[in-house]
Structure 1
């Protein structure tokens, strides 16, 4: 990093716009791995991609999604030995799954004993058909009716206290594009969709601001999203600059994880939501080893 002090900040910030990034996975904790795997595969149509047990650290992971990790966004479930429930908090919103027939999917989920929290039907004041279901741990999944898509696992929704600041943070620190912003005054909230490609083709971050609410509880259930980068060191420089302007902080300096050698860096946004940036090549090597 020697000599980087001399680089004007606008040149550092350019890296986030040029870097090759995509959403890799969302990490969260569950109370019974097999129960969640059963629900996600049988009710939501996901595939179990891999599972690993780390007895020395007393936890297990399962990775599930709608396609291989090399090309798709997946969920990484964590089970900590002996812990059967978690507090989701008030800040985490939902994950979303795009499907061509919400009514049929809801029927299937109900037949298997799933918890439907909003019946399928058009959104208020719109035409998109949606429904909401809860998984066995209480995580909410929005089901959205859409045509065929390469990425059915299409949203991670988080609540934030200052939407404009958050948009600016994700644009500058992570090179995301603001895909759309929608204010809903009758229901007193505003949403912003951010990502790396069109929201009908890929996973996006949906940030929600509820009028007058500036703080939320995080709980201990949802952990983070992971995003790929071609250079964790350059990416950390960008994040470091942006946190000085907008808040948030780096929680793990860039470098390899001991024992795995995958290079990562992690940080919190102004609301305390965590993102981990993972080296692209290292991530693919890690997947090859697990074949």
Structure 2
């Protein structure tokens, strides 16, 4: 990834570097956050992983090791695997409820759903288009697990919208909870709305027009 830009918001006491493989207006972007004065986070066990497609997994792993990263699974085939950009565990096992929420409130499509007895999980892949051309989200139910520790290290999934106020209303109607009412961010005036899905995962809606101005 490349460092695309860095944003400091002293009013909110945090700094964001944005990293990705191309322009933010047309590519998936990872937003890293440093909160002033915080030097440690509880990662928890509810967030799964980010998935990135590579031509040579072995070379990618060697580079990760060389740069000080830790490999927890060596390169090799995964039965029933898929390529994704983000994965969260469905904390109370109600995968159907989570799917309906992301369809109705977020406007995503259920691209596929697969039960994986060998991995003791069921995975629902959600997105706005085919997986080979779009960022997708995996919702995962692990057999028998009904509670996860979210910790405080996971931030949020950010989604562009033409109207943050209407998006917030849709969240409320579909069982989500608004934790930051729609409005501009201090210092940059980009309008956002922040909510929790029915399982407590944080989502943020960002005004498309404001976001493009921010990139100018």
TM-score by length of 2: 0.92
Q: Is the 8 A contact 2:11 2:187 kept in 1?
A: no
2:5 maps to which residue?
50
1:60 matches 2:22: no
Task: Report how far residue 258 of structure 1 moved.
Answer: 3.7
1:169: which partner in 2?
A: 101
Structure 2 residue 139 is the aligned partner of structure 1 residue 184: no
CA distance in structure 1 between the aligned counterparts of 2:151 and 2:113, rounded to whole angstroms: 27
Instruction: Determine which of 74, 78, 82 is the counterpart of 1:123.
Output: 78
1:148-189 CA distance string (max 9 Å, x none): xxxxxx411000021110000000000000011110123321
| Among candidates 73, 77, 88, match of residue 158 of structure 1 | 88
Runs of 5+ unmatched residues, structure 2? none
Partner in structure 2 of residue 252 of structure 1 = 180
Which structure has more relative contact order (CA 8 Å, sep 6+)? It is 1
Q: Distance in 1 between matches of 2:51 and 2:177?
A: 28
Given the superposition, is the C-alpha separation of residues 96 and 50 from structure 1 closer, same or farther in structure 2, using an over 3 Å criterion? same
1:109 maps to which residue? 64
Instruction: Tell me the TM-score normalized by structure 1.
Output: 0.69
Write the mapping of 1:1-291 to structure 2, written as runs, cut at 5 A: 46-55=1-10, 57-124=12-79, 126=80, 154-160=84-90, 161=92, 162-243=94-175, 248-288=176-216
Partners of 1:104 and 1:260 lie apart in 2 by 40
CA-CA distance at 1:118 after TM superposition: 0.5
Shift of 1:57: 4.6
Q: Partners of 1:102 and 1:167 in 2: how far apart?
A: 31
Question: 1-side partners of 2:100 and 2:11: how far apart?
Answer: 41
C-alpha distance after superposition, 1:97-156 (max 9, x if no partner): 1111112211222233321111101103x5x6x9xxxxxxxxxxxxx5xxxxxxxxx411
Residues 172 and 56 of structure 1, relative CA distance in 2, 3 Å threshold: closer
- Give, in angstroms, the shift of residue 52 of structure 1: 3.0
Q: Is the 8 A contact 2:28 2:135 kept in 1?
A: yes
SS in 2 for 1:96: coil
Q: Which has the higher strand share?
A: 1
Partners of 2:212 and 2:62 lie apart in 1 by: 37
What is the aligned residue count? 214
Greater shift in the superposed pair: 81-90 or 106-115: 106-115
Larger Rg over CA atoms: 1
Backbone CA RMSD of aligned residues: 1.8
Specify the SS of the correspondent of 1:252: strand
